[in-house]
């Protein structure tokens, strides 16, 4: 019997320790989780492959989460990828969070992140 392919999650987080925690728990939960530290690196990955979901921090170096979500919204093939925002920042009304399916506040418990990822990956 062939196993189903693992769903791909792209984690965009500049806090490497937090990213490794999230990445580890996502992998343990059955996801194929990749990690990059900024929005430019995320766009490079998105140019080559399409994850099933993206988890993005808003406060990133080089290209922040708001700019990344705006870039995704501007491209039909990227607009279809569900996004979860995980941030410690206040969300201002002019940010491009309409791309986000859910906003989780830091500190975010790993099990809460996994539950949100499972919900939106199954829905996609």
Chain segment 74-119, per-residue pLDDT in tens: 999 999 999 999 988 776 655 666 778 888 999 899 999 999 999 9
**Distance, CA of 42 to CA of 34 (rounded, Å):** 10
Mean pLDDT of 38-62: 96
Q: What is the pTM of this model?
A: 0.91
Token pair of 75 as six digits: 């491209």
Q: Per-domain residue ranges for the chain? A: 8-123
Considering the four listed CATH numbers 3.90.180.10, 1.10.730.10, 3.40.50.720, 3.40.50.2300, the one that applies to the domain covering 8-123 is 3.40.50.2300
3-state secondary structure of 7: coil
């Amino acid at each position: 019997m062939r196993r189903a392919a693992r769903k791909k999650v792209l984690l965009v987080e500049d806090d490497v320790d937090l990213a490794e925690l999230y990445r580890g728990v996502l992998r343990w939960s059955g996801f194929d989780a990749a990690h990059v530290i900024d929005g430019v690196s995320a766009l490079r990955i998105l140019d080559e492959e399409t994850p099933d979901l993206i988890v993005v921090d808003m406060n990133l170096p080089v290209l922040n989460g708001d700019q990344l979500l705006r870039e995704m919204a501007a491209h039909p093939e990227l607009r279809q990828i569900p996004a979860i925002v995980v941030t410690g920042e206040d969300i201002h009304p002019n940010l491009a969070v309409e791309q986000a399916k859910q906003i989780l506040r830091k500190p975010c418990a790993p099990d809460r992140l996994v539950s949100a990822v499972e919900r939106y990956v199954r829905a996609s």
